[in-house]
Amino acid sequence: MKDKKYDFLAGATLLVDKPLEWTSFDVVNKIRYALRKTLGVKKIKVGHAGTLDPLATGLLIICTGKSTKTIDGIQALYKEYTGTIKLGATTPSYDAETEEDSSFPTDGLTEEQLKANCAQFIGPIAQMPPIFSAIKVNGQPLYKKARKGEKVEVKARNITIHEFELTNIEMPKVDFRAKCSKGTYIRSLAHDFGKALGNGGYLSALCRTKIGEHSLEDAWNLPELIKHIEENYEPVPKN
């Protein structure tokens, strides 16, 4: 795939490994700027197919040109993730973006309990999204309201978790792998996993490894992609 010659203006689909602490739009803007500069064009359509939070890494699919029309279809595909849940504490954002606001003893939790706890989250479930999310209420993202301390009402979403398993347990942290439908919040899964134990939990690390059959193994490292664009493409001839 990395030897492929892309036609960015006509339409290209790029698999990118999103760096930690970058927003998905940061990646889009970086690629758009490189394409405009290298191809010598004022405008080019560039979009992403499914947001990753800044504290998450992994597979981000970027579409250019007419391929941006395929974004909705890509977003509808299942996703796979690996990550880490820290038990014994919660945060308002359900991840490490905000400070811990409560703590619980974890001494009584056994490996058998933890693994058995996964079963109730597999299948169709109603999931409450985090208030620190990009879901819009009255035209404004929830996270903006949350950061202002405003109270907001969040409605549950029907999602499906196809697979959910623990891959390593080193208390208070547990590693997991999950395969889920569009619209699933892994931060909510981490929070709900801790709550179901009569404890607390939040997402301390996350990596998206698959979107449908697209795999992180085939993704570009972002600096390598930018270098590839700058070194292998020339300005588009003007008519």
Q: Determine the pLDDT at residue 154.
A: 76
* CA pair distance 156, 108, nearest whole angstrom: 31
- Rounded CA gap, 49 and 42, in Å? 23
Q: How far apart are CA 160 and CA 77, in angstroms?
A: 12
**For residues 163-189, average pLDDT:** 97
Distance CA 42, CA 44 (A): 7
Quick check: helix, strand or coil at residue 191? helix
| CA 15/CA 25 separation, integer angstroms | 15
Instruction: List the structure tokens of 102.
Output: 């409560």
Nearest alpha-carbon partner for 49 in 25, 83, 80, 81: 25
**Confidence band, pLDDT 50/70/90 cuts, at residue 5:** confident
Residues annotated as catalytic (active site), given as ranges = 53
Task: Tell me the pLDDT tens digit for each residue of 127-147.
Answer: 988 876 666 656 665 666 556
**pLDDT tens profile 8-52:** 999 999 999 999 999 999 999 999 999 999 999 999 999 999 999
pLDDT of residue 236: 85
Structural domains of the chain, ranges and CATH numbers in brackets: 11-76+214-232 (3.30.2350.10), 79-211 (3.30.2350.10)
Q: Is the pLDDT reported for residue 1 higher than 80? A: no
d(CA 152, CA 219): 37
| Average pLDDT for the chain | 92
**Would you tell me how many other CB atoms lie within 10 Å of the CB of residue 52?**
21
